[in-house]
Copies of this chain bind each other. A is one copy, B any other.
C-alpha cells in the first residue's frame, strides 16, 4: 500500500488534489465539528469548494437526526448546506426500505428501535412503522407481556422489517418484541452499527451497542445501511449519480469513513486528524486501512 500524501501546507499538492475530484463526501462529526464546536475555517473551506463547482454530500451515521435536523445544525454553526446535500444513515435506511426492498403490502411495516430521526425519514419515504418514539413501548416489561409477545398478541401482524438505530430509550420490552419479530422472519436492518458514540469529550454506547442485545439474542447481524456498508454507498450513488473515480471521501475514522471510501472504489480518500483516528493508525507498517491523503484539519484545504 502506497504511503498517504500529507497535504497540510503543500499548496501545489492541494491544487492537484482538488483538480482530481468533482464530488466530496464529507463525514461531519470529527471533520467539520465536535459537538457544538466548529473547527477552524470550515465555512470558508466549504464555500471555496462550492466556488470551484464541487458537489458536496454530507454523509453521517448519526441515526437520531433526520436530514432536516442536520440542516438546523449546519445553520446554527454557520456552515452553508442544503437538506438535499445531507445523507444520514436514517435516510439511507428509509431509501433502502422504500426503493430497494419494496416489500409488498400489507406485510411491509417497520418496527423501529430508535429516535425521531428515523421516523421522520421513514415518513418522508412513505414507509409505515410502529415502535420508535411511541410511548406505548417506553415502559417496563410486565409479567403478562411475556405471554402476549410469545403468542403474538402484542405484535403488529404487518411488520416485515426490524430497523435498529441509536435508541436512547432502549428497554427490555422493545428488545423482546424486536427479537420476536425476527424469530417470525422479519428482515433485520440497522441504520449503522458503530459501537461507540463520541459525546461530551467521552465515549457512549453507539447504535451498534444499543442494538447489540437483539443481535445477540437472534444470533445474526443486521444489514447495516450506514458507513462502511456499501449499501449506503449504493444509496448515495443512486441519488447523486456521481463518477466514483472523481469522488473523494473525507473523514476522521479509518474503520468507517476511510474504509467506506476504499470499499466503494472511490478515486481517493482524505483523512483529517481532528477526530478519532490518529496518523500513527495509518502510517504504521501493516495498518489495515490507509487513506490516499491526509491533513491536520479540513481548514488546511484553504492553503
Residues of A within 8 A of B (CB): 140-141, 146-147, 149-151, 167-172, 175-176, 179-180, 183, 195-196, 199-206, 208-217, 219
Contacts and interface: CB of A to CB of B under 8 A. Distances in A.
Nearest to A219: B195
Copies in the complex: 2
5 contacts: A149-B200, A151-B201, A169-B171, A195-B219, A205-B214
A217 B202 contact: no
Contacts of A215: 212
A139 to B, nearest CB: 11
Contact of A146 (B149, B167, B202): B202
Contact of A213 (B200, B213, B219): B213
Contacts of A180: 202
Nearest to A168: B172
Nearest to A180: B202
B199 A217 contact: no
B170 A200 contact: no
A210 B216 CA distance: 9
